Amino acid sequence: MATKGVGPNAGPISITDVFTIGIGPSSSHTVGPMRAARDFATWVSADGRAVAKLCCELFGSLALTGKGHATDRAVVLGLAGERPEGVDPDAVDPMLATIAAERRILLGGTASVAFDPDADLKFRKRQFLPGHPNGMKLRATLVDGAVLERTYYSVGGGAIRREGEEDAAGLSAGTNHPFASAREMLERCAELGLDIAGLMLANERGWRNDAATLAFVDGIHAAMNACMDRGMAQDGILPGGLDVPRRARKLHQKLMARGPRVEPASVLEWVSLWALAVNEENAAGGRVVTAPTNGAAGVIPAVLRYYECFVGNATQAGSRRLLLTAAAIGILYKRQASISAAEMGCQGEVGVACSMAAAGLAAALGGSNAQIENAAEIGMEHNLGLTCDPIGGLVQIPCIERNTMGAVKAINAAMLALHGDGTHKVSLDAVIETMRQTGLDMRSKYKETSLGGLAVNVVEC
């Protein structure tokens, strides 16, 4: 049985819930809180009464690593009415500086309200709310003395849940061929004569037509490419105080200088470069695709570009198949366990992304449904127990390099699966359940709290 905050997601899940576009550095600590704060601002503004004061309390992991994950900044942006997918990363610092200097905010982008980020954002580091390790309370005191308050949980991948609601806010409703497990997914495919990507496309018809779904997939693909390209063009030191230098640009220049000849080992260097580029952008607060989280945003783009650059017969249809299949696998993890590092550790982020990417690559390379399921299982099996222990609460060390490892593992997992016939001893369902149980057994200090692991054994410089 699932414990509270970890377990099956009862509502149907769309590809638009698996892949979203937002800003770094964290889907659960930046994107989710921004959405929650914006939801609260919209609710309070709709009430119509004048607001005298605002307050936000952050609990658990949001408090312990909130500064490093820019949770405080995200809350302010959300209260000001900004959306993760629409805010201009270059406009964030000036906007926040103005709010801090004036100690006022345009709540929901409309009414001016007194708000001092230093005093009205409170980090409750020793307190955890019962619904999820990522909890937050938002409160508006009205001029007439009334108080409007809501509690939110950021449940992973940028999804949020209001207290008292069973499903994550923002999840879509309606599907044609539902599946709650990998076994059911394979059965649906067999019944309909579809591959996993085809099943995913058929299910999306509960929300939109195929042309609109493929346009969404192409848009996600374009955003991934833009993030990689920008990451390879940027230089300098990542923000946050660890003085971590960006490496993607210099590595890109070095690989380009070698010319067109590709040594076998250099393929791994290119894959690592692409993952680095994305996660350096994420660490800098740039625009990334949550896939399925920001902390693991570099894995799937790197594997996708590997397919397009190093597979001789790569096609647009293959790229779409990769992303659709990856989304189907991501849905299984969201439904059966969690993609929140605060619940599962990094096995729930980089591990899940590796599993998704492995399945997607196997699909793009023509694998059978059984081989695809095997690739997803291999991708997770060798990430089980992976902890989340960011130094200084920043999504930098070991997070950035961990994405390169996840991408390389995904390619290896896909190749191993394709060399077999799809039969294997450990099912994907079994490995997802094992990940869930491992996450429950893992001590909280290893789950995005920066209270254990590298976070305490490496001196911050």
What does the pLDDT look like over 88-125, one tens digit per residue?
999 999 999 999 999 999 999 999 999 999 999 999 99
Distance, in Å, from the CA atom of 399 to the CA atom of 365, rounded to the nearest integer, reads: 28
Element (H, E) at 126: none
Return the closest-CA partner of residue 31 out of 151, 121, 158. 158
272 vs 165, higher pLDDT: 272
> Is there a contact between 333 and 355 (Cβ–Cβ < 8 Å)?
yes
Q: At what angle do helices 264-283 and 210-233 cross, to 10 degrees?
A: 90
**Can you give the pLDDT at residue 368?**
98
Q: Which residues contact 9 (CB under 8 A, 6 or more apart)?
A: 167, 168, 171, 334, 335
> Is there a contact between 15 and 53 (Cβ–Cβ < 8 Å)?
no
Distance, in Å, from the CA atom of 377 to the CA atom of 355, rounded to the nearest integer, reads: 7
**Can you give the pLDDT at residue 3?**
38
Distance, in Å, from the CA atom of 15 to the CA atom of 199, rounded to the nearest integer, reads: 12
Distance, in Å, from the CA atom of 186 to the CA atom of 194, rounded to the nearest integer, reads: 9
Q: Which residues contact 370 (CB under 8 A, 6 or more apart)?
A: 186, 421, 422, 423
Q: Which two tokens stand for residue 262?
A: 């590709």
Element (H, E) at 111: strand 111-114
**Can you give the pLDDT at residue 174?**
52
Distance, in Å, from the CA atom of 159 to the CA atom of 334, rounded to the nearest integer, reads: 11
Query: Taking 80 as the threshold, does the pLDDT of residue 4 lie above it?
Result: no
Distance, in Å, from the CA atom of 130 to the CA atom of 146, rounded to the nearest integer, reads: 26
Q: Which residues contact 425 (CB under 8 A, 6 or more apart)?
A: none
Q: Centre a 10 Å sphere on the Cβ of residue 10 and count the other Cβ atoms it contains.
A: 10
Burial 133-155 (b: 16+ CB within 10 A, else e): bbbbbbbbbeeeeeebebbbbbb
Mean pLDDT, range 225-241, rounded to an integer: 97
Q: What is the pTM of this model?
A: 0.91
Q: Which residue has the tokens 């990430």?
A: 383
What does the pLDDT look like over 44-87, one tens digit per residue?
999 999 999 999 999 999 999 999 999 999 999 999 999 999 99
What does the pLDDT look like over 301-315, one tens digit per residue?
999 999 999 998 999
Mean pLDDT, range 238-258, rounded to an integer: 96
Distance, in Å, from the CA atom of 28 to the CA atom of 155, rounded to the nearest integer, reads: 7
Q: How confident is the model at residue 263 (pLDDT cuts 50, 70, 90)?
A: confident
Q: Centre a 10 Å sphere on the Cβ of residue 269 and count the other Cβ atoms it contains.
A: 16
Domains and CATH numbers, the chain: 29-154 (3.30.1330.90), 182-446 (no CATH)
Phi and psi at residue 161, to the nearest 5°: -140, 130
What does the pLDDT look like over 11-30, one tens digit per residue?
789 999 999 999 999 999 99
Mean pLDDT, range 161-174, rounded to an integer: 64
Distance, in Å, from the CA atom of 337 to the CA atom of 258, rounded to the nearest integer, reads: 44
CA 360 to chain centre: 17
What does the pLDDT look like over 127-154, one tens digit per residue?
999 999 999 999 999 999 999 999 999 9
Gyration radius from the chain CA atoms: 21
**Can you give the pLDDT at residue 219?**
97
Distance, in Å, from the CA atom of 253 to the CA atom of 39, rounded to the nearest integer, reads: 43
Distance, in Å, from the CA atom of 375 to the CA atom of 382, rounded to the nearest integer, reads: 11
**Can you give the pLDDT at residue 1?**
28
**Can you give the pLDDT at residue 175?**
75
Local structure of 119: helix, strand or coil? helix
Local structure of 414: helix, strand or coil? helix
> Is there a contact between 36 and 136 (Cβ–Cβ < 8 Å)?
yes
Distance, in Å, from the CA atom of 446 to the CA atom of 398, rounded to the nearest integer, reads: 13
Element (H, E) at 168: none
**Can you give the pLDDT at residue 389?**
92
Mean pLDDT, range 437-456, rounded to an integer: 94
Q: Which two tokens stand for residue 108?
A: 């929901």
Give DSSP secondary structure letters for 14-79. -HHHHSEEEESS-IIIIIHHHHHHHHHHHHHHHH-SPEEEEEEEEEEHHHHSTTTTTHHHHHHHHH
